[in-house]
Amino acid sequence: MVSEAGLADTVARLAPDPDRPVLIAGPTASGKSALAVEIAARQGGVIVNADAIQVFSDWRVLTARPSSEEEAQAPHRLYGHVPGSETYSVGQWLRDLAPILDGGERPIIVGGTGLYFAAMTEGLAEIPATPPGIRAEAMARLEAGALAPMVAELDPETRGRIDTRNPMRVQRAWEVLRATGRGLARWQEETPAPMLPLARCQPILFDAPKDWLTPRIERRFDKMIRGGALDEARANLATWSPELPSAKAIGAAELMAHLRGEISLAEASERATVLTRQFAKRQRSWFRARMRDWPQIAPAEAGA
């Protein structure tokens, strides 16, 4: 439960400059959205989503998108604006973000997708999408044990820049070279200037320790069920497919399995909770690696 007094104290202590954008990052269930609403309520601004799953329209409760009551407290943007059947990339997010940044309102950008923050504050190389045929070829070669030959086929500059022991890194670099005729390193060198440099912002990173976050995660899915997640799943059942872009919503597949009679609701809840813990661990690892210079606050400091 988030303490309103604690949030108010946090905003007072942080003393954000009302004229500068605020960036709030943190793992799932850490209370970052509540802080964003508090800042907007006290200082004004528009809250902008930086969560890759909350962009989809078909899972509101399950993805912990802001409630109608929260949205009534401040303007919210880029939440649920993409049909669940459509793909959505970080490049599309940046394009959707641009008019908001140019709109005159101070943005409060909040979410748990580290790549969105990195692309916004560091720039994003505009590499064309990989054709499905080339991706299939790359995956088939890796499965056949051709990692070393694929590394050898890379341009020397890219080969010296990536972790050649990481199959995913090699696959990505090989696909780019195969599809575009240019090495990944050259594309990265042409990365445009960042849309919102970190030096112009007020970044805040929630440092949520595992022993503090885990009990919140374990309570969260049951709270979602009580809040209507199962009804939401029933509404999506007729059009459900694990291939949908929005199917990555944690707990979606488990609720569908329950509705089809394959598992109990208790088992669906347990599986979703485990997946959420694993996801939060990946988020914390990203933040430690890529956002180590961001000012950090403990959830307890934010009244969470």
pLDDT in tens, 208-238: 889 999 999 999 999 999 999 999 999 999 9
- Other C-beta atoms within 10 Å of 250: how many? 22
Where does 132-189 sit in CATH, by number?
Answer: 1.10.20.140
Q: Do domains 1-124+201-304 and 132-189 have the same CATH topology?
A: no
Closest C-alpha to 85, from 58, 62, 64, 60? 58
Which among 291, 295, 299 has a CA at the least distance from the CA of 120? Answer: 291
Q: pTM for the full model?
A: 0.83
Q: Please calculate the CA angle 294-300-304 and round it to the nearest 5 degrees.
A: 100
* pLDDT in the model for residue 303: 57
What's the confidence (pLDDT) of residue 301?
58
Q: Which CATH number fits domain 1-124+201-304: 3.40.50.720, 3.40.50.1480, 3.40.50.300, 3.30.1490.20?
A: 3.40.50.300
Can you give the residue ranges of every domain in the chain?
A: 1-124+201-304, 132-189
H/E/C letters for each residue in the chain?
Answer: CCCHHHHHHHHHHHCCCCCCCEEEECCCCCCHHHHHHHHHHHHCCEEEECCCCCCECCCCCCCCCCCHHHHHHCCEECCCCECCCCCCCHHHHHHHHHHHHCCCCCEEEEECCHHHHHHHHHCCCCCCCCCHHHHHHHHHHHHCCCHHHHHHHCCHHHHCCCCCCCHHHHHHHHHHHHHHCCCHHHHHHCCCCCCCCHHHCEEEEECCCHHHHHHHHHHHHHHHHHCCHHHHHHHHHHHCCCCCHHHHCCCHHHHHHHHCCCCCHHHHHHHHHHHHHHHHHHHHHHHHHHCCCCCEECHHHHCC
**38-52 pLDDT, tens per residue?**
999 999 999 999 999
Instruction: Please give the average per-residue pLDDT across 56-75, as a whole number.
Output: 94
- The number of residues making up the chain comes to 304
Give me the mean pLDDT over the 127-139 stretch.
91
Q: How many other β-carbons are positioned within 10 Å of the β-carbon of residue 69?
A: 8
pLDDT number for residue 128: 86
What pLDDT score does 302 carry?
57
Give dist(CA 183, CA 156) in Å, integer. 9
Among 72-76, 99-103, 188-192, the minimum mean pLDDT is found in 188-192
